[in-house]
Amino acid sequence: GMAVPPTRVFRSCFAAFQPLLQPLAAVTLEPMPSEEVLAHWGMCAEPQLRECIRLLKEVEAEYRGVGLSPSERRSLLEVLRHAAELRGFRADAALGVLTESGTVAKLGQVALNDAPWLVRRLRRGVLHAASPAIRGRTREKLGLRCASALLREALAHGEPEEVLPARGAELTARLHCAPFARHASALLSAEEGRRDAALLGPPGHLGAHALAALLSSYTVQVVRSMTTSIVSVATGEDLTDEGANQQALYLVDEGGKRILVAAEPPPGLPHEHLLHLAVCCLARVPPPASLAPLLGCAANDLPATLSLLQVAPPSHWAAADAMCVAGSALTAADEALVQLKPLRPLFAGEVVAVQRPHEASSSAAAGALVYAIVDRGVAGGNARSAVALRSADSSTLLQLLPLGIYSFRSRRLPPNEMAAAAVESEASSGGLSAASGDGHGDDPEELSSRVSAANRSAAETVGAAALIDAVSSVLAAANVPIDLEQRQLLEQNMSMQEELVLLRAEAAELRVSARQAEEELDALKEANTCQICLARHVDCLLVGCGHLLCRACVPHCGNRCPFCRADVQSVANFYAPSS
């Protein structure tokens, strides 16, 4: 149900390219144009490199500032992979590339997000994080660079004050020690070998001599405090978002050949651990995971301490999210695109959503929506033919009627809005890039906002009105239209179901409040009960220490408090029991 430019339609087209590129058989044209008209449109037999490049340049304007649907994301990734493998392909800064947030950005404005702790501090739109679903070979062909190679951390407000020179000299001596370099080389090489199974020996830059030569040129300085910002390696421009300058615990100053560490780091992060992080930064290797910093800090400081350890989630987790793995729960962004159109055609490989079966085991609750892949394309207009889908178990096919299949709508900009979006983007240009997008990366806190509400049912996701429209269209196609009274009854039924869900939620909240009130009442009763006999209410105050007892237990205590053994000066009765 969407207009397709003639340059996107081919007599034969790969199924994986839909919906960005379409085969002629998928286009609704009545009557079908003649061969002369198709040739005049420039209709080719199948997409070649030229057509793929044209699509990659046009798609950035068509989806400027909006997210792609699951099928569009998979299609863009496939077109990128296919184009990069063709002979004659050359990376162009104007090519559209999929980003972590599911939008499209120009290749010249994209980098691999290997340092999210740096990217999240950038001004919005300065740099886009490339989708981790872009595979290694395609990354090489596109020439994608790492964010850590484009950005660096620098001092924000002049030189910090150096303190504890003796401590700095001690840490420098440890750093220059030859046995330390030799054993550090063995540790880091082993860790790198575990990460990369293709390594058959220690990497050259982690050899004992190479590491010793690297560390011997640096000195350690202990400073009172330091504030850092994020700058461009190429231009030195400050790219830090407003208010994102922060107090750093350590800083590697490659220009000055020094390592700065804070004089008073938080608990769990001693100078030795800060130096460990700095050495890994110099060696260009991820620091080995350690639970010692988390064990050494207070419970309230755990989130802040974890963020200081510069831990990046594995890229293949985010790649699976971008590829919409069958059987996994919908993300919050994709839930907003869900629609129920039972009479629309479905193409092979299209990503749809189905309800999680009650007997299936998954992170999604039974009845919630999960991804599924259409196995064979079906023509629209027939709501009684089952559709073959691949869900969590790829070895078996799931047969569902169209009324149980939810598709995703596209947010592609119409042609009249593309020019306005382009002008707005040019007006807000600056920094390394000029497009609005996902410059802040995905830290653990932001990831929670993208995870879907796995307990939402399909009816809650698409809404009652969409369900009623879908049922009406199916019945009308079967020549069994419903009249106005029946439609009103359906609407009232759906409305009552929605009210029932709200009432159940309110009842659950009231039960929680009642349980809390009952626990508070029990605590008050316990506080008002004599802790000697555990039977009567307290009604006497021991003057001197302030402990409470009942009147019957006071004579048995003598002149000493039974709790703290302090001398009792006098007894004050503050409650007279009724006779």
Domain boundary among 96, 118, 147: 147
Helix/strand number for the chain, H first, E second: 19, 21
Count up the domains in the chain and report the number.
Answer: 4
The pLDDT tens digits of the residues spanning 103-114 come to: 999 998 899 988
Q: Say whether both 385 and 256 belong to one domain.
A: no
Q: Say whether both 141 and 168 belong to one domain.
A: no
**Model pLDDT, residue 53:** 92
pLDDT-based confidence at residue 97 (cuts at 50, 70, 90):
very high
- Asked if pLDDT for residue 155 goes beyond 70, the answer is yes
Mean pLDDT across 116-132: 87
Ranking 21-35, 115-129, 546-560 by mean pLDDT, the lowest is: 21-35
Contact 258/221 with Cβ under 8 angstroms? yes
Listed in sequence order, the DSSP H helices in 268-330 are: 271-283, 292-295, 302-308, 315-323
Q: Say whether both 302 and 334 belong to one domain.
A: no
Q: Which residues are registered as beta bridge partners of 129?
A: 111
Contact 304/249 with Cβ under 8 angstroms? no
- Asked if pLDDT for residue 87 goes beyond 80, the answer is yes
Between these two residues, 418 and 498, which has the higher pLDDT value?
A: 498
- Asked if pLDDT for residue 92 goes beyond 70, the answer is yes
- Asked if pLDDT for residue 332 goes beyond 80, the answer is yes
**Model pLDDT, residue 456:** 53
Q: Say whether both 174 and 288 belong to one domain.
A: yes
The pLDDT tens digits of the residues spanning 505-540 come to: 889 889 999 998 998 888 888 888 898 888 888 989
The pLDDT tens digits of the residues spanning 264-322 come to: 888 888 899 899 989 988 888 888 888 888 888 888 888 888 888 877 777 767 676 67
Q: Which range of residues forms the domain containing residue 194?
A: 162-223+249-315
Tell me how far the alpha carbon of residue 416 is from its chain's centroid: 32
Q: Residue 62: inside a domain, yes or no?
A: yes
**pLDDT > 90 fraction of the chain, expressed in percent and rounded:** 15
Mean pLDDT across 10-32: 76
**Model pLDDT, residue 359:** 54
Q: Residue 508: inside a domain, yes or no?
A: no
- Asked if pLDDT for residue 222 goes beyond 90, the answer is yes
Mean pLDDT across 381-386: 78
Compute the mean pLDDT over every residue in the chain, rounded to the nearest whole number.
Answer: 80
Half-sphere exposure of 71 (CA within 13 A, CB side): 28
Q: Say whether both 386 and 345 belong to one domain.
A: yes
Q: Say whether both 166 and 305 belong to one domain.
A: yes
Listed residue (360, 402, 370, 372) closest to 384, CA to CA = 402
Tokens 């994301």 correspond to 73
pLDDT-based confidence at residue 366 (cuts at 50, 70, 90):
low
Q: Residue 42: inside a domain, yes or no?
A: yes
CATH number at residue 558: 3.30.40.10
Mean pLDDT across 393-405: 81
Contact 80/53 with Cβ under 8 angstroms? no
Q: Which residues are registered as beta bridge partners of 328?
A: none
Q: Residue 235: inside a domain, yes or no?
A: no
Q: Say whether both 394 and 281 belong to one domain.
A: no
**Model pLDDT, residue 431:** 43
**Model pLDDT, residue 439:** 43
Domain boundary among 273, 293, 315: 315
- How many other C-beta atoms can be found within 10 angstroms of the C-beta atom of residue 64? 23
DSSP 8-state class, residue 501: H
Q: Say whether both 173 and 273 belong to one domain.
A: yes
DSSP 8-state class, residue 402: G
pLDDT-based confidence at residue 448 (cuts at 50, 70, 90):
very low
**Model pLDDT, residue 440:** 43
- The pTM is what? 0.68
Q: Say whether both 31 and 132 belong to one domain.
A: yes
Neighbouring residues of 151: CB distance < 8 A, sequence distance ≥ 6:
115, 118, 119, 122, 127, 230, 231, 232, 233, 239
pLDDT-based confidence at residue 453 (cuts at 50, 70, 90):
very low
CA distances from residue 87 to 49, 55, 93, 116, 541 in whole angstroms, order as listed: 8, 17, 18, 34, 93
Integer-rounded Cα Rg, in Å, for the chain is 33
Classified as helix, coil or strand, 228 is: strand
Q: Which two tokens stand for residue 517?
A: 């009130």
Q: Residue 238: inside a domain, yes or no?
A: no
In 356-419 the beta strands, taken as DSSP E runs, fall at 369-374, 387-390, 398-400, 407-408
Between these two residues, 511 and 451, which has the higher pLDDT value?
A: 511
pLDDT-based confidence at residue 478 (cuts at 50, 70, 90):
low
Q: Say whether both 330 and 467 belong to one domain.
A: yes
CA distances from residue 47 to 37, 79, 253, 477 in whole angstroms, order as listed: 19, 10, 50, 36
pLDDT-based confidence at residue 89 (cuts at 50, 70, 90):
very high
Q: Residue 263: inside a domain, yes or no?
A: yes
- Asked if pLDDT for residue 437 goes beyond 50, the answer is no
What is the C-alpha separation between 480 and 472, in angstroms, rounded?
Answer: 9
What is the C-alpha separation between 339 and 461, in angstroms, rounded?
Answer: 9
Q: Say whether both 462 and 559 belong to one domain.
A: no
**Model pLDDT, residue 436:** 37
Strands 369-374 and 351-355: antiparallel
Q: Say whether both 141 and 167 belong to one domain.
A: no
Domain boundary among 147, 175, 191: 147
Q: Residue 444: inside a domain, yes or no?
A: no
**pLDDT > 70 fraction of the chain, expressed in percent and rounded:** 80
**Model pLDDT, residue 479:** 64
Q: Residue 490: inside a domain, yes or no?
A: no
**Model pLDDT, residue 2:** 59
